[in-house]
Amino acid sequence: MEETLYEHRNSLAAPFIFFIVTVFQFLSGHIEHKKKSGAVTDEEIRLRTEIKQHYKEASLFTQPSTFAQAAKLRRMAAAKEREITKIQELHSKEIISSYDSYLKVLMISKVILYFILICWFWHAPVAAISEQLVQPFGKMLSWRAGGSLKNNVMVGIIPWLIVSTRVSKFICRKFIN
């Protein structure tokens, strides 16, 4: 009875750990993506529409007698573009600092969770994989989890965390980008 409970817990441990690692990877990837893309404010949208309007009006003044009016509109559009640049710089600094704090909290919680998982599964195997599937890497995957049992390699927590992290990073790159 106790052995089947132990096997049942271990059969759910590997997918559960992989799910947790994948969630952390998606969160960090999503925050990084938001940090890079930034947000457009209403003021920027308003200024961009005004710039387009100024350029459109300036293109209508093609005669030599209206050159001064067209130049004035182009200068106004250039001034608004500089204003947008200033707004974007200020806004990007605020966004980057806020996203950096989110990333720090996420990293700290990830380290704490990994430490808890390592302590919890230190000498217990996380999963059992057929020895034929992992032929040259069997000893490396079973590190700190015991050897092989009934032609199955017992996978330790540290190798499982490494594999889960690499696979979830690959999956996240495909979905986020």
25-76 pLDDT, tens digit each: 999 888 888 877 766 677 788 888 888 888 888 888 777 777 888 888 888 8
User: pTM to 2 decimals?
Assistant: 0.63
79-138 pLDDT, tens digit each: 888 888 888 787 777 777 888 888 899 999 999 999 998 888 887 777 777 776 667 665
User: CA nearest 144: which of 132, 131, 133, 153?
Assistant: 153
Banded model confidence at residue 24, pLDDT cuts 50, 70, 90? very high
pLDDT at 23 over 90: yes
- Domain residue spans of the chain: 2-176
In angstroms, the Cα distances linking 119 to 23, 52, 75, 113, 177 are: 20, 60, 65, 10, 34
Say how far apart CA 83 and CA 127 lie, in whole Å: 58
